[in-house]
Structure 1
Amino acid sequence: MTGQTTIQKSPQNPEPVPEPARGLRGHPWLTLFSVAVGVMMVALDGTIVAIANPAIQRDLGATLADVQWITNGYLLALAVALITAGKLGDRFGHRQTFLIGIAGFAASSAAIGLSDSIALVIGFRVLQGLFGALLMPAALGLLRATFPAEKLNMAIGIWGMVIGASTAGGPIVGGLLVEHVSWQSVFFINVPVGVVALVLGFVILKDHRAANAPRSFDVVGIVLLSAAMAALIWGIIKAGESWGWGSGKTWGFLLGAVVLFGLFALWQQKVREPLVPLGMFRSVPLSAGVVLMVLMAFAFMGGLFFVTFYLQGVKGLSPVDSGLRLLPLTAMMIVSSPLAGALITKFGPRIPLVGGMVFTAASMFGMLTLTPDTGTLSTSLWFALLGLGLAPVMVGATEVIVGNAPMELSGVAGGLQQAAMQVGGALGTAVLGAVMSSKVNAEFGENWKEAGIPVPPAPQLEQAAEFGTVPAELAKAPGMTPDVLAAITKVIQDTFMSGMGLAFTVAGVVAFVAAFVATLTKRGVNADAGGGGVHI
């Protein structure tokens, strides 16, 4: 029957084998194209906003903490909801979940563009994150159910290429929109893309249900897991933002998260149909893939946060020029993602993953050489090396996680993959932000004294050092001379560069640790065998 899924089982192949589709609905490659459009919107949004942050900060009078919450609020919502959203797809169908996610993401994006206060921007970013959580695991679930086992690695490789290229392309698209339209257009662009994705989804996507998909819903598990994730991410964010890592509040939330995760684990062993079967984590490759995603996102998202302020604040580049300066990162991810997919399909993920994290670490340490006077060639080298390192990790870690999970848990596996990335991103932004702030606080006053500036520093100038940007109104301050302005500029930029350098050092160490974790990965057992459960 055209477009239908036939069930063929054998001891070697216990899962359904999709029959090749002859029409539009359910066609594997058209399904890949359809979900890629939706995933592109979410992936692009992850970094397109970074280039708009300085403009939002200026337009709405936001503080550094406010700007961080534009990212952190989104990451918090994603991290809390992703695994539950994956289970929703497993239970009610990935097609329906995907389409609801697309519609909600586009609508919340429009609401952000219409917002006139930083509080509304942050609030709608949280809503945007919740809908994004519905969309991402459902996309992986659709691919897993549509493609035959021998082509799944290739499909995930292309899917990873779309995510990598969209993530890397965000700064360029964002720069063009911010400079020639407005920061609001960064969010409005999601509306037409969302409409296209919806139309494609209604026409092409076919709903697939595994024969042994869950029939009940673990409400208690959802509450416990959501509370645990919220406590973890909230504690991390607030530690980096204002509480500090020595605060009792910080450790109270982190300890609460540990207790809630423990209660969740106990409950999962008792409930008949658990939200996350803990037996999944007896697969060492799957567990290593999850940890690898956390560490990769820590280094990448945390580092990228400061790169945009370096380019626009210290280098004085426009949003468009900042995006163009990051073009080597974009181009390398676009070129190397399909190559990484081919290498992983032929040789397995371990060597490409280890090599990718080594290249990522090398690029982070290489960025320690950046100065206010660094030329385009030097920055391009390190950005290109970063793109070369990230591509195989985004492709390979996804294949490791999803390929080592049973078909009926493909949504949960997709949720795990994305949740790991969001937790890592939140950790990276918060921890490296705290590292940056502590370094700036420790050095700003001393640098000011050494510069011999005849007036005491205003509090807002120390905050400016966290952005690397000299306030435009400073030049018009009473009694300001060109020499004093040049001295203040040097103090702000030197302090920022010192803080950014320490942040990149931490990111580089984390990337090296990730390279060792990558040695524990291997090809998904289900991708090799055409199905089957997790080896436990």
Structure 2
Amino acid sequence: MPKDKYVNTVERTRSPWLTLAAVAVGSVMTGVDGTALTIAGPDLAVDLGASITDLQWVANAYLLATALALLPAGALADRYGRRAVFLCGVAGFTLTSLAIALSGQVWLVIALRALQGVFSAMLQPAALGLIRAGFPARTLGPAIGVWSAVAALGLAAGPLLGGLLVAAGGWSAIFYVNLPVGLLAIGLTLTFVRESRSGQALRVRTVLNLVRPRQFRVGVALVAVNFGALFGVLFLLTLYLQTHKSLDPVTAGLWLVPVTGVVVLSAPLGGLLTRRHGPLPPASAGLLLLAVGLGAMATLDLHSGAAQVALATVPLGLGGGLALVAATEAILAAAPPAEAGLASAVQQVAGQLGGLAGIAVLGSILAGGRDFTHGMHLAVLVAAAAVILSAPLAVLLRRH
């Protein structure tokens, strides 16, 4: 293979774990931002006079822009350099965070959140592409597990950190905190990460060939189902804790730690299991635990305490971590190394669209219930049914 055909083959001499550390710092920023902003919604509404529709657009503008930009961003990373695109994504995300924190109008926050979504789209597939390029096949699963655990740590810390920041400095503090994290990610990347690219342009045939393997399509479907269930549940839990149970932001953040924090443990476990046994066992176990957790959520009501909520939701985080890592590894293993960025973008698109669908569907079911408790119970049971129906797909995953 010519040297300029696939740069990764000549630049895998530097420790891949340093690459993983650098891209993980950048990736964790997006995880913290997403869940922390959920807690900050009420304060933002009071400060800027935002309506419920405005708050929905603050979240959806980011998700939609990310989903639309992911595939082009992944293709740019493969062709022009994953390190370069990753750095642009981190720098843009950081600067946009500063602009949002300084905004005084809700329409400007929405517009900047959309721009931030574009930079997030540049960051995420490039990060996974750098990991795919830097690690040999035998350690790719554990590496993805560690990366997923760090991302999950951001999600887990988001609610609690968001509550503390809002209490200390208002909603804008959530965006100010991205500045030192972004600068650290840029410094680590410039120091430890080497460039990798394939030099190939994005063509329709390339995309069609990429999604042709059955394992790739199955992995994408499972990622969408998992993100739909997890995003939908976090949406329901936030409303349940702050609206239905009237908890303050810090307390609500603490109650959300079990469901998000357990992913920090289950994600690397999923990577190890995938390495040793292939993606089928962790994917199957993860989907089963997801269904169990969703079913357990149907027992929660206004009088449920923190322990009962934790017992019901911990299986969600445990199952989500196992299944997502297995499905992600299956996607990347089925893709040619030269198209790692594009494959990562497809994985991210599946997650974003799955999350949007989960929030939309479960939110609509919640609104259609007789009361909040009835609507939440119906929503989580529908989500459990969707997870159970997707479980047979895991059988189609094969070991690499």
Shorter-chain TM band: over 0.9
Instruction: Please name the residue that 1:113 is paired with.
Output: 101
- For 1:136 and 1:374, the matched residues in 2 are separated by 37
TM-score (ref. length: structure 1)? 0.71
Moved more, 278-287 or 400-409: 278-287
Is residue 159 from structure 1 mapped to residue 137 from structure 2 by the alignment?
no
Instruction: Please name the residue that 2:276 is paired with.
Output: 346
- For 2:42 and 2:235, the matched residues in 1 are separated by 11
- For 2:29 and 2:134, the matched residues in 1 are separated by 22
Superposition pairs of residues 111-510 of structure 1, within 5 angstroms: 111-210=99-198, 213-214=199-200, 216=201, 218=203, 268-269=204-205, 274=206, 276=207, 278-439=208-369, 443=370, 495-510=371-386
- For 2:18 and 2:98, the matched residues in 1 are separated by 28
Instruction: Please name the residue that 2:389 is paired with.
Output: 513
The correspondence for 1:58, drawn from 34, 37, 46, is 46
Instruction: Please name the residue that 1:222 is paired with.
Output: none
Preserved contact between residue 11 and residue 194 of structure 2 (Cα < 8 Å): no
Preserved contact between residue 285 and residue 319 of structure 2 (Cα < 8 Å): yes
Instruction: Please name the residue that 1:224 is paired with.
Output: none
Instruction: Please name the residue that 1:251 is paired with.
Output: none
Matched pairs, number: 399
- For 1:158 and 1:419, the matched residues in 2 are separated by 21
Instruction: Please name the residue that 1:91 is paired with.
Output: 79
CA distance 1:406–1:504, change in 2 (3 Å):
same
- For 2:49 and 2:367, the matched residues in 1 are separated by 19
- Please report how far the alpha carbon of residue 117 of structure 1 lies from its aligned counterpart in structure 2 after TM superposition: 2.4
- Please report how far the alpha carbon of residue 401 of structure 1 lies from its aligned counterpart in structure 2 after TM superposition: 0.7
Preserved contact between residue 6 and residue 19 of structure 1 (Cα < 8 Å): no
Preserved contact between residue 132 and residue 340 of structure 2 (Cα < 8 Å): yes
Gaps of 5+ in 1: 219-267, 444-494, 529-536
CA distance 1:217–1:409, change in 2 (3 Å):
closer
User: In structure 2, what residue type is equivalent to 1:311?
Assistant: L
- For 1:503 and 1:118, the matched residues in 2 are separated by 30
Preserved contact between residue 179 and residue 318 of structure 1 (Cα < 8 Å): no
- Please report how far the alpha carbon of residue 516 of structure 1 lies from its aligned counterpart in structure 2 after TM superposition: 2.3
Preserved contact between residue 363 and residue 385 of structure 1 (Cα < 8 Å): yes
Preserved contact between residue 284 and residue 391 of structure 2 (Cα < 8 Å): yes
Secondary structure at the aligned position of 1:519 is classed as: helix
- For 1:520 and 1:105, the matched residues in 2 are separated by 37
- For 1:115 and 1:19, the matched residues in 2 are separated by 42
TM-score (ref. length: structure 2)? 0.94
- Please report how far the alpha carbon of residue 89 of structure 1 lies from its aligned counterpart in structure 2 after TM superposition: 0.4
- For 1:6 and 1:325, the matched residues in 2 are separated by 54
- Please report how far the alpha carbon of residue 330 of structure 1 lies from its aligned counterpart in structure 2 after TM superposition: 3.3
Percent identity between the two aligned chains: 42
Preserved contact between residue 285 and residue 323 of structure 2 (Cα < 8 Å): no
- Please report how far the alpha carbon of residue 279 of structure 1 lies from its aligned counterpart in structure 2 after TM superposition: 2.0
> RMSD value over aligned CA atoms?
2.1
- For 1:321 and 1:518, the matched residues in 2 are separated by 37
- Please report how far the alpha carbon of residue 501 of structure 1 lies from its aligned counterpart in structure 2 after TM superposition: 2.1
CA distance 1:282–1:52, change in 2 (3 Å):
same
- Please report how far the alpha carbon of residue 195 of structure 1 lies from its aligned counterpart in structure 2 after TM superposition: 0.8
Give a deviation string over 1:84-131, Cα, whole Å, max 9, x none.
100000110001000000000011111111122221221111011000
Preserved contact between residue 280 and residue 398 of structure 2 (Cα < 8 Å): yes
- For 2:379 and 2:202, the matched residues in 1 are separated by 42
Preserved contact between residue 164 and residue 394 of structure 1 (Cα < 8 Å): no
CA distance 1:68–1:505, change in 2 (3 Å):
farther
Q: Relative contact order (alpha carbons < 8 A, sep ≥ 6): 1 or 2 greater?
A: 2
Preserved contact between residue 8 and residue 196 of structure 2 (Cα < 8 Å): no
Secondary structure at the aligned position of 1:209 is classed as: coil
- For 1:136 and 1:359, the matched residues in 2 are separated by 27
- Please report how far the alpha carbon of residue 19 of structure 1 lies from its aligned counterpart in structure 2 after TM superposition: 6.6
Larger radius of gyration: 1
- Please report how far the alpha carbon of residue 39 of structure 1 lies from its aligned counterpart in structure 2 after TM superposition: 0.6
- For 2:359 and 2:46, the matched residues in 1 are separated by 20
- For 2:331 and 2:314, the matched residues in 1 are separated by 27
- For 1:60 and 1:437, the matched residues in 2 are separated by 25
CA distance 1:323–1:315, change in 2 (3 Å):
same
User: In structure 2, what residue type is equivalent to 1:133?
Assistant: A
Preserved contact between residue 6 and residue 16 of structure 1 (Cα < 8 Å): no
User: In structure 2, what residue type is equivalent to 1:200?
Assistant: L
CA distance 1:15–1:397, change in 2 (3 Å):
farther
Preserved contact between residue 360 and residue 389 of structure 1 (Cα < 8 Å): yes
Preserved contact between residue 332 and residue 387 of structure 1 (Cα < 8 Å): yes
User: In structure 2, what residue type is equivalent to 1:201?
Assistant: T
Moved more, 51-60 or 109-118: 51-60
- For 2:57 and 2:325, the matched residues in 1 are separated by 28
- For 2:116 and 2:65, the matched residues in 1 are separated by 8
Give a deviation string over 1:320-372, Cα, whole Å, max 9, x none.
11111122223321222222211111011111111111111211121111111
- For 2:153 and 2:2, the matched residues in 1 are separated by 35
Preserved contact between residue 161 and residue 395 of structure 1 (Cα < 8 Å): no
Instruction: Please name the residue that 1:44 is paired with.
Output: 32
- Please report how far the alpha carbon of residue 286 of structure 1 lies from its aligned counterpart in structure 2 after TM superposition: 0.7
